[in-house]
Amino acid sequence: MPPSVRARRWLTFERKLLLLALASGFPALVTAAIVLFVFDVSPGSTWTLLGILFIVWIAFATAVQERFAYSMRTLANLLGALRDGDFSFRLRMDDRGSLGEVYAQINDMAETLHTQRLGAMEAAALLQKVISEIDVAIFAFDSMGLLRLINRAGEKLIQMPVEQAMGESAADLGLAPYLAGPAAQVARASFRGASGQWSIRRGDFRESGQPHQLLVLSDITRPLREEELHAWQRLVRVLGHEINNSLTPVKSLSSSLLSLISREPLPGDWRDDLRSGLNVIGNRCDALNRFTGAYARLARLPAPKLQPVRVADWITRVVKLEQRLPVRLTEGPDVTIQADPDQIEQLLINILRNAVDATLERNGAGGEGVSVVWRQEPFTVQVVVDDSGHGISNPANLFVPFFTTKPGGSGIGLFLCRQIAEAHGGAVTLRNRESNSGCRAVIALPVGMPRTNTSGMDGTLETRA
């Protein structure tokens, strides 16, 4: 080992402090020796005094070293206790100088860490309680795929107590496919403790610097069945109402016509009455057929066939189709979206036709009229259609199928508009205008590649609002 390295290792902080204390007293010792020799003091007394001074010099230097080393060791012990999580130690404030200020700051730090630790422990206990009591299965796996956290719902799902499950691999628990699949999915799955339709969510987090995966499984079988039952009940209620509305007059007319042709002799105008009654029956049957056809079209909305669509061309083309009332078009930015041109054209046709109908109903051909403008947001393009009609009187039923306030309306135009927008990853909103009378419809479609809804089936879209 080189001498310089050995010297640096030997010269510890305490030894440097001792040498500094010795150096500070050395001039005084040399001065005392010179004075004793100059003033003709006897040699015995001189060496005695020098010995005493030397001992006092060494003692004071050593005391300085030990005092400072004691303070440093005290600080080191306290910091070590803080590192180990023991926040009960406190330093006595005997010194009112700079060392006392250091002690005070360290005591304050220990108190702050103690308070923060209590808060973290309480928050962790609350989180653990919530995780334990929540009716959703929660699992956490480390980077090796071994289970590190599970709640009560998870224990019931895999039929294994936490003591036995901890440390088991995801493959042994039957959960490995969901750690490698999509981050969010709905799938039918069977486990040891339950089977059905599951909402599966997966996320990543870090603990102690190591990557972990959080897996959350929620049983949605019962909510889906309840929603399906409610949907069937609504469907039966609407269909029953409309069918009864058509069958009641048909039954009444058929009974009247049967009674008419059973008379003897027949009335002179029996042919006209028969023809009129049969026309009414035919009209009601046609209306019932149109109604059931409209319901069928709701279930046959096809998945959008995406292609580049220039927003300016799309809106200008639809505005030119409306001839009943001039529509004020304010051009926006030149932007292109990915969409099905036929479907979004039908979407805007329905919205614009509703706006013109509302304006004509209130103002005729005069008034403020209808205006269309589009603007680009950070992630969407928004088409805004303003009318000057009476506004929305029942916003809760806007998108309810077959609800309409228009004479002769089908009540599915707005519902289909929302279906088309959501299939493109967008949305349709309607609200009353704040400054003027009328309604504002906003069509928001994503600028980038949308996440399309592929649950639709083949069919046509020919319904008008």
Per-residue pLDDT at 442:
92
- pLDDT for the residue 126: 78
Please check whether residue 116 lies inside any domain of the structure.
no
How many independent structural domains does the chain possess?
4
Structural domain boundaries, residue 214: 135-219
Q: Which of 58, 85, 68, 78 is nearest to 17 (CA)?
A: 68
Q: What is the pLDDT of residues 91-100, one digit of tens each?
A: 776 666 676 7
Assign 325 to helix, strand or coil.
Answer: coil
Domain boundary among 280, 298, 316: 298
Determine how β-strand 370-376 pairs with β-strand 327-330. parallel
Residue type, 80: G
Q: How many CB atoms lie within 10 A of CB 151?
A: 22
Distance CA 267, CA 38 (A): 166
Which CATH number is 347's domain given? 3.30.565.10
Q: Are residues 335 and 426 part of one domain?
A: yes
pLDDT of 392? 76
Four-CA torsion 230, 232, 235, 238, nearest 10 degrees: -60
Q: In the chain, what is the greatest distance between 2 CA atoms, to the nearest angstrom?
A: 173
157 within 8 A of 191, measured Cβ to Cβ: yes
Same domain, 285 and 343: no
211 in the same domain as 234: no
Joined together, the tokens standing for residue 303 give 């998945």
- DSSP conformational letter for 381: E
Domain CATH for 209: 3.30.450.20
CA-CA distance, 461 to 455, in Å (whole number)? Answer: 16
The secondary element (H helix, E strand) that includes residue 210 is: strand 210-219
Q: Does 171 share its domain with 290?
A: no
Which residue from 133, 137, 13 is spatially nearest to 65, judged by alpha carbons?
13
Q: What is the mean pLDDT of each run of 10 residues along the chain (465 residues)?
A: 57 71 78 76 77 83 79 79 74 67 79 81 78 85 89 88 89 86 83 84 86 89 76 69 71 80 77 80 76 64 85 90 84 91 87 86 70 90 89 64 52 76 89 83 80 39 32
- pLDDT score recorded for residue 461: 31
Q: Return the pLDDT at 34.
A: 79
What pLDDT, on the 0 to 100 scale, is given for residue 301? 67
Give residue 225's pLDDT: 76
3-state secondary structure of 382: strand
Q: Give 346's contacts (C-beta < 8 A, 6+ positions apart).
A: 416, 420, 461
Could you give the strand order of the β-sheet that contains 184-190, starting from the edge strand earlier in sequence? Answer: 147-150, 137-141, 210-219, 195-207, 184-190
- Same-domain check for residues 210 and 246: no
Instruction: Note whether 138 and 150 are within 8 A (CB).
Output: yes
Let me know whether 253 and 284 are in one domain: yes
